[in-house]
Structure 1
Amino acid sequence: MLQLTQLRKVYQGKVVLDIPSLLLDPGIFWIQGANGSGKSTLLKIIAGMVPFEGDITFKGSSLRHSPLIYRQHIGWAAAEPLYPPFMTGMDLITLYQRIRKVPQKEIDQLIERFNVGNFIKGQASAYSAGMTKRLSLLLAFMGDPALIILDEPLTTLDTNSFTLISDLILEAWQKKGTSFLMSSHQELDTNLLNAQRVLTVINQSIVL
């Protein structure tokens, strides 16, 4: 269960988000809204990436008071991920593996499913946008987080990767009860649409 309490975000004196209270049961949620409505900001806040006023709790842990425990439950993939150009994908996977204590068997399975084995040992500076995106999504799924937050997960992906992501989301929800928060300008897979609820960001607030 994800709970937002008195959440408020201000940029340069302008209120970007103002959500007095929001309670989400486990599930798959698609966040919609016009450009500049605060979708990405909301996802970054819930992922623990940017400061904000108020508090967020998930699985009994407060982002404000127990940030490390809170973040252990969260997987995150940005809309346009950036990684240090000198690092390889394997460097990043190994780092996440140590932090999240992920078994090597799971790593091998994810590398195969995301089809990154042919470039993962090269430096990030040589990756295309699609390669970088697949790596970011792989990292978000590592360690079986209870909540995975995906900002524009389908951008820069080919058709095969598009289908893979949809299948992985449904599989994680149906088999493990993993919750998802996503934003997307692209139409989601029909099966995925049938399994999710829509949240709309309007005038700095959320409408269910």
Structure 2
Amino acid sequence: MPPPADGPQFSLQFRQDFETLLKWRRDVRRFRTEPLPDGMLDHLLQLADLAPSVGNSQPWRIVVVENQEKRDEVRACFETENEAAAQEYPDDRATRYRQLKLAGFKEAPVHLAIFSDTDPDQGHGLGRATMPEMLAYSTVSMVHTFWLAARAEGIGVGWVSILDPATICQILQVDGNWQLVAYLCVGYPEEEHVDPELERARWQARSPISSRVFHR
């Protein structure tokens, strides 16, 4: 059935371009150091703010990490947790793990720490009494919206998860109700690839969607 006449009309070219955008939305770890154009970050955050959220609560809280000392502390936290993670693998896998580039702290011109407010006034609690995790899921939706918006502008995003949330909260001195969801490195990619870096490094290949769809 075609969309209603008063709804948005997306051309075949747009739909094809959207599929291309999804395919090229890669986790970037290798950045150029040049800054984003003036106003670009604000533009991307405005688009990200259009993401859906439970009860229209918009629980995301975004910290733009500009202070170099704080960036260095975050990077030190990553290095500590990254080495601890490596030690969890057997020797051969640990060696391969240490060879992976898993973050772009040094080069990325923009660092964003994304938190989710665990008890926001906005939304009046709608939709989260039985599933309070919907707040964090909403924030993840915002992150993905930001990611696609950035990629559409030729900007790369790297999501760094090898961090201790409590340490990051302490470094950035955020509200006690805020839960760390993502630390993003943002900037222009040094190189472009349609396939994930972990596939190229032969760490883990993607599996077909059919292996993750179940019918009841």
Which bracket does the TM-score occupy, shorter chain normalised? under 0.3
TM-score for both structures, normalised by structure 2: 0.25
Which of the pair has more CA radius of gyration? 2
